Structure formats: structure tokens, C-alpha cells
A and B are shown apart, each in its own frame.
Chain A
Amino acid sequence: MTAKPSTAIEVLDDLDRAIINRLQLPLPIEPRPFAAVGLELGCSEAELIARTKTLLETAALTRFGPFIDAEALGGAFCLCAMAVPAERFDAVVEIVNGFEEVAHNYERDHALNMWFVLATDDPGTIARVAQRIEDATGCEVLLFPKEREYFIGFKVAA
């Protein structure tokens, strides 16, 4: 477990960091958005575009595009957790991951050791899928729906 940490951060300069921080905030919806953001950051439109391409190619950024709110489209998400007996863990993983509504699933070090996200086309389906998972696994599914989001984003130390 002494894997060498990623070196991407070491080759980022101040402008790269400023770009990473700024691009997590909304892009202006106007014909030349990168020119407008470049003005904020003190770099040219062409340089901002070139650097953003590099940040995507080196995977410092995973994506640059619209963030869709599936809930606004009628879809629903719910964080769920289960306390899965250790001896049944692998079998339960297989069952839970087999549900196409399970988007992410993490093992965590807690009595509630399995945490997954359900993504469905409508809110009513969440409870039904959770019930089907309970029936299939014999483990209680606790639902932790988002009640409020406090979002600002993640910043790279400048």
C-alpha cells in the first residue's frame, strides 16, 4: 500500500490551479465563454482552452460540460446503507450490484459497511427497489435521502 501518489498535482502551476477552481463554477452562457473566464483569470482565451484540454487529457479534470440534475427531470437518487454480516459480504455485493438502479456502491469501515446510491426514474421507485434489495439480501436497507445540499465545490490550494 505504498503506491506512489499521483504526480499530476506536482506539475500544475498557479494558472492551472486557478483554472481548476474557476471551471468548477458556472461557465457564462455567452458566445465566447472562455474569453470571459480568461479575462477573470488574466489569461487569453486560447491559453485557457489549451490548458483546459491538457487538464482533461491528464485527467486532472474528468469532464467539462453540463451538470444535469436528474431530480429536476423527475428522477430520484437516494443514499442507502446496510449492515452486512462479514461472512455474507461478497454474496450480498453480487446481489446488490446486480440491481441496475444501484449507481455506486462502496464498502466502508463501519457497522453500516455497505453504502450505495440508488438512481431511479421517479421518487416512488426508490422505496420499491430498496424493498426488493431487502427481500433479496435479507439485510435491512436504511435510506438517507438528501434533504438539503450545501454545495460550493472543491478547491486546489493556490
Chain B
Amino acid sequence: MNALSAQDRDLILATQAGLPLCAEPFAAVAMTMGTSEQDVLSRFQTLIGSGVIRRIAAAPNHYKLGMIANGMSVWDVDDAAVDKLGQIIGELDFVSHCYRRPRALPLWPYNLFAMLHGTSRAEVEDKRTQVAQILGSACRASDILYSKRILKKTGVRLSKRGD
């Protein structure tokens, strides 16, 4: 729905691998693109304003940070309460992703997904208990799915061609 201009696409392509780590990173990007710092700043502001770019930020490596255990916890939460509770769960330090998704009954009654991280599986289970306490009686059932194997992992990136 939101077509990118060629200049916006070039800006994303120039920075998606990483913003230069220097005192004036936007000026550095502008230099490589042959444009002005002001142009880069205003394009980023516009792209963030329109939601195409969520933020310029760091992605942590959970594993390297000692969080070697993780589990996808899933919860069947009362529809009337799920958004309020989901926000609280999403704010917990040990939750990296928290989403509301549709149920797939009868096999899958869960509508709230929260990825839990810990230094061990026991710690993840402890955190799961903390989430259960927060959800309280609004939660009817829950489960946790540990990953056994990564079968495929490719980053999602903007392709170079305009497709």
C-alpha cells in the first residue's frame, strides 16, 4: 500500500545492514548517497512517521547475552482482557516478542503468544509461572513450546530489485 520512492529505497538499502557508528552517522550516510544530511534526517523522520521504519535501534543476540533457553509460551486469554494483559506481558524484561493471534480450534485454543527467555529451561519455566500469575483467572489454558531445532533461518531484508 505504501510505495517507496527510489530515494527512500536507496536510503534503506544503504543502512539496513547497519547505521555507521560515528559521531554524525546521518551525515556519513548522506555522503555515501551523494545527498545532504538534512535530506537523510527528514527522510528517516518521514519513514518513521509513516511506519515503514519502526525505529533505528539495536537487535540483541539473546544467546550471547546468556539467554540460552527460550520457549514460545501460549495462552488462552479472555478476549475482553487480552489487549490489556498482553501489553503488561510485553513489558516484562524477559519477554522479547508478544503477540495476539487467532485461535485454531479445536487443536489450538491459544490467542496470546509470548517468547520467554532465560539462562536455563528452569528459569524459563519460572518466568512462565510469573506470566501465569499476571494473567490469573483471565487465562483458561496455556502451554509452552520449546524449539528442538532451527530448520531454516533467513533474514527478511528489502530486496535490491524493486520487486
Contact = CB atoms under 8 A, between A and B. Distances in A.
A1 to B, nearest CB: 11
A33 B40 CA distance: 13
B96 A153 contact: yes
A110 B22 contact: no
A145 B99 CA distance: 9
A56 B19 CA distance: 12
Interface of B: 1-4, 12, 15-19, 21-27, 37, 41, 44-45, 47-48, 50-68, 72, 83, 86-87, 89-102, 104, 107-108, 113, 117, 119, 143, 145-156, 158, 163
A66 B21 contact: no
Main secondary structure on chain A at its contact with chain B? Answer: mixed
Given A112-B108, A148-B100, A68 B52 contact: yes
A67 B102 contact: no
Nearest to A117: B156
A127 interface: no
A8 B48 CA distance: 32
A67 B55 CA distance: 6
Interface of A: 5-6, 8-10, 12, 20, 23-27, 29-35, 45-46, 49, 52-53, 55-56, 58-70, 72-74, 77, 79, 81, 83, 93, 96-97, 102-112, 114-116, 119, 121, 142-157
Contacts of A64: 18-19, 21, 56-59
B154 to A, nearest CB: 6
